[in-house]
Amino acid sequence: MRWLMGFFLFLGLALIGGYIFAKGYPYKLYSNWIEGKNWNRYYALEGHSQIFLNPVAIEEIPPYKEDYVQLWKVFPLLNAKIPLPVRHPLFQTIPIIETTSKKTSPQLGVIILAPNHRELSRLYTLPTRLNPDYSQGQELFKLPFVRNRILKLPLDKLWKDIFQYKIEVKSKSMDEMIYDLYILHLRSKILPAGTVRYGLLQEDKAIIEIASNDLDYIVEIIMNYDRGNIYSYVLKTEKNKDESRKLRSKFLESITFTPSDPAMGKFLYTEFKQLNFARQVDQEGMLFLFSAWSQEMEKVDILKEMIFFLERGRNNQAQLRPLYKFALNYYGKTFTTKNLLNEHNDPNLELQRKIEIENIEKARDAAREKARPVAAPELTPDEKMNLYLKKAKESGESEKSDMTIH
């Protein structure tokens, strides 16, 4: 009897121990994975960082008041609508064109310079992308019990919680542990290497600050979420310059997004044609053409026209340099049409420009030569004598026919 009671007692303790183990083991796995320990084939993250656990609060954007509204105009640049200075005495605008190969579309942007040519702000757009599906990213998420819960999560809630939800290791339900692990996984995919802080600025707008090589500047990626699409741009701001911080506020408040539209490009080109010549050869004209070209980047004629008019303006070397560089890398020529004294600090660029100018001058000389009347062939002395006799004879006959007999 005692033996039987001992057996049941042992069995009961084993069942209780097994239950406690079965209930506690998932939590042990969860807590280790959250802290970046004991990865296995079911769950593992590359570049795990403690910053993935808790967003760092983003300070409010200081209000921005524009004193000279007429000196700004909103230009579409690829998928972004950006306010840019037009004939503004305090700012100079430089185009950015970055490309890795001819197979990929260039990234476009602008640099805003102060009158002393110091960079105040740099902004360039990133391609629009759909909100990625990361639900297959871990073997854990493929288990039916887990996957069914992940697929039920609202996308809008996930978007917000990526940038504001705090992950705390404490006693939680199975569903809460799965949610934490999924948010952690999403952050590892969305936050770039070198992320310093991140947070939600508005319900549809998030900011990610990444480490900057230049300690005088902060670099931020701004993401806007709109019905499953993510629109992004990179913004570089000088920390200790009031004017630079004001530009940051202006951009964060004002930039909106819309798909590229060739019809808008045609409209902007028409507006450019209506400017007087002085404005066409200034940075204002460049912005109209740069914006129009961004809507139909296969239209190389707009790029050529942008270079043509900038070369006929004054002090546009800084604007021309990135256009020359892109054209040379992408098309094999700079499309230069005027011999300018420029300092581009790029021997290959200057050599190519000299070659193109020489080719233009040779073509002009050939055209002039072709337009000249053909010179009469040189006559021999006998041919000259015969010509003179013929002319004298024709002259005499003409005088006889003109005589009047009374």
% of the chain at pLDDT higher than 90:
50
Q: Which of 55-59, 172-176, 284-288 has the lowest mean pLDDT?
A: 55-59
Give CA torsion, residues 290, 291, 294, 297, to 10 deg.
-50
- The per-residue pLDDT of the chain, averaged, comes to 84
Identify the pLDDT of residue 17: 34
Between 95 and 343, residue with greater pLDDT: 95
Q: Which residues partner with 124 through β-bridges?
A: 109, 234
Identify the pLDDT of residue 267: 95
Rounded distance between C-alpha atoms, residue 116 and residue 362, angstroms: 40
Confirm whether pTM is higher than 0.85.
no
| pLDDT tens-place string over residues 60-108 | 777 777 777 889 999 999 999 999 999 888 899 999 998 877 777 788 9
% of the chain at pLDDT higher than 70:
85
Q: Are 63 and 79 in contact (CB under 8 A)?
A: no
Confidence of residue 383 (pLDDT cuts 50, 70, 90): low
**Beta strands in 262-391, from DSSP E residues, in sequence order:** none
Identify the pLDDT of residue 137: 83
DSSP 170: S
| pLDDT tens-place string over residues 189-206 | 999 988 999 999 888 899
Between 376 and 193, residue with greater pLDDT: 193
* pLDDT exceeds cutoff 90 at 208: yes
Average pLDDT over residues 103-119: 89
| pLDDT tens-place string over residues 213-249 | 888 999 999 999 988 889 999 999 998 898 999 999 9
Separation in Å, CA 353 to CA 156, 167, 359, 363, 402:
52, 58, 10, 15, 66
Could you tell me which residues come within 8 angstroms of residue 323 by beta carbon, excluding any fewer than 6 positions away? 95, 97, 303, 306, 307, 310
Average pLDDT over residues 46-57: 87
Place of tokens 């204002």: 284
User: What is the layout of strands, in order, in the sheet containing 195-202?
Assistant: 92-98, 107-113, 119-130, 229-238, 217-226, 205-210, 195-202
Identify the pLDDT of residue 229: 87
* pLDDT exceeds cutoff 70 at 343: no
Q: Which of 262, 275, 341 is nearest to 302 (CA)?
A: 262
b/e sequence 231-260, b meaning 16+ C-beta within 10 Å: bbbbbbbbeebeebbbbbebbbeebebeeb
Identify the pLDDT of residue 301: 95
Q: Are 170 and 34 in contact (CB under 8 A)?
A: no
Place of tokens 């039916």: 144
- Give the start-to-end residue ranges of the domains of the chain: 260-370
Q: Which residues partner with 121 through β-bridges?
A: 112, 237
Place of tokens 């990361």: 134
